[in-house]
Structure 1
Amino acid sequence: MVPKRRLTKDVAYYQIKQKIIYGEFNPDEVVREEQLSEMLEISRTPLRQALQMLEMEEFLIRQPNGRLKVASITKEEVEEIFQIRSMLEGSIARNAAANASSDDIKVLTEILEKLRQAYHFGYSQEFVAYGNDFHDYLAEISGLKTSVKLLSMIKDHANRYCHFVSMYGKWSNQVDEHALILEGIKNKDGAFAELAMKKHILSTLKDVINRIEDKANSKIGNTVD
């Protein structure tokens, strides 16, 4: 049997990370142990273990005064993350095109339709989730264990940036981009699928950077006013 304390730590870790990814905790917001302990209804010891894990993953940053704050949203970080993604996921798409069966094509088509519906109705959280499902399925059928493992190390940080954009409905051609990737998979054209995936990831990067810049300019405008 797994000790209860370990389970509590893991649950707290997951819940806090989700709140950071989905924007319930804002970038640069100070997090206080007493508030988190009350919110999650757990004791300080497992909470501190969870916070240490999130600090190691750089979702939380320790300040000089010892307090923890939510990591900032920065252009430098997102550029690095998405450049890495474009290379890894491009290779994954190429291999998925070679391996995809007719059943795999059917599953991907169904996910794409759900993505389209989420976009149509403005369901931002579902939109990101279905996008993840699409990418995860390609990773599963690619057979590239090392690439998939490396990708998993940055996935949650990437999701945080994706949700940061989806909150404001500023995606550019996301559904069409996924459709192009699927076209390459259907035709077993690995080169086409790889190129379409890389263009999609870099398009997402552009959306995120535009949103970061919009927010920065908005802050400057408010300061001037």
Structure 2
Amino acid sequence: MSMAQGRRLTKDFAYSEVKQKIIYGELKPDQIVREEQLAKLLEISRTPLRQAIQMLEMEEFLVRQPNGRLKVASFIKEEVEEIFMIRSMLEGEIAKSAARNATRKDVKVLNEILSNIRRSFQLGDSQVFVSYGNQFHDYLADISNLKTTVKLLSMVKDHANRYCRLMSIYGKWNEEADEEHDLILQCVRNNDGEAAEKAMKSHISSSLKAVIDRIEEKERNGEKWA
């Protein structure tokens, strides 16, 4: 492996690791991030880390302040509303197409994922619950055959997941999600595209409300995310 390839792999590793720490809440909203601490944590040099940081700044997971210091992006209600609006439109189309394409095998797979969602919810394992929820949505995307729509969705999905995962940490997540996923599955089972689209949009609207409610609750109580 050449030195250039090694640097690229290290940069990609740093990008993925820091991004996941932000999405999963290990790095909290508004938390100050120091290059030397991240480099030590990831056991890498500063050069590839800086390249990774530049990518995360472009994606607005990290924000450079006027004094030059880095911090994790804040939670902003207007941003989450816009993200979930875009997600609703894209995933609505995905659900519609997935329902029309779904085979018996697809319905079986989705039903198994839904069983895992229910089990994790009953056990109170909120992070696993969110992971299975993502798996449910990802499978619908796979069978939708809407490559461009799925590609566009991927551009906002990580931001949406960041909000969803932190909501599961800092409060009860959307308790109606089980019934909402079940309704989507019923529509897919019936190959009813229009109904699946409507059910998906309703589900995402409900998720948005849960996120907004939690953000407003913390604002009222003067609580910090850290």
Give the TM-score category using the shorter length.
over 0.9
Q: Secondary structure at the match of 2:222?
A: helix
Is 1:174 equivalent to 2:177 in the alignment?
A: yes
Map 1:122-141 onto structure 2 (within 5 A): 122-141=124-143
Cα offsets for 1:169-218 (capped at 9, x unmatched): 23230111000000000011111111100000000000000000011111
Equivalent residue in structure 2 for 1:48, among 38, 47, 50: 50
User: Do the aligned partners of 1:122 and 1:169 also contact (CA within 8 Å) in 2?
Assistant: no
Give the corresponding residue for 1:218: 221
After TM superposition, the score normalised by the length of structure 2 is 0.95
Identity of aligned residues (%): 65
Q: How does 1:147-166 map to 2 (within 5 A)?
A: 147-166=149-168
Q: Point out where structure 1 has 5 or more consecutive residues left out of the alignment.
A: 221-225
Aligned to 1:202: 205
Tell me if the contact between 1:164 and 1:208 (Cα under 8 Å) persists in the aligned partners.
no
Q: Secondary structure at the match of 1:61?
A: strand
Aligned length: 220
State the AA in 2 paired with 1:187. Answer: N
CA distance in 2, matches of 1:170, 1:198: 18
For 1:111, the aligned partner's letter is I
3-state SS in 1 of match to 2:163: helix
CA contact (8 A) 1:172 1:203 kept: no
Distance 1:208 1:19 in 2: 19
Which residue of the partner structure matches residue 14 of structure 2?
12
Q: Which runs of 5+ in 2 are unaligned?
A: none
TM-score w.r.t. the length of structure 1 is 0.96
1: CA distance, partners of 2:120 / 2:19: 23
Letter of the 1:52 partner, please give it.
Q
Deviation track 1:2-55 (CA, whole Å, cap 9, x = no partner) reads 711111111111111111011111101110011111111110001101101100
Distance 1:143 1:82 in 2: 22
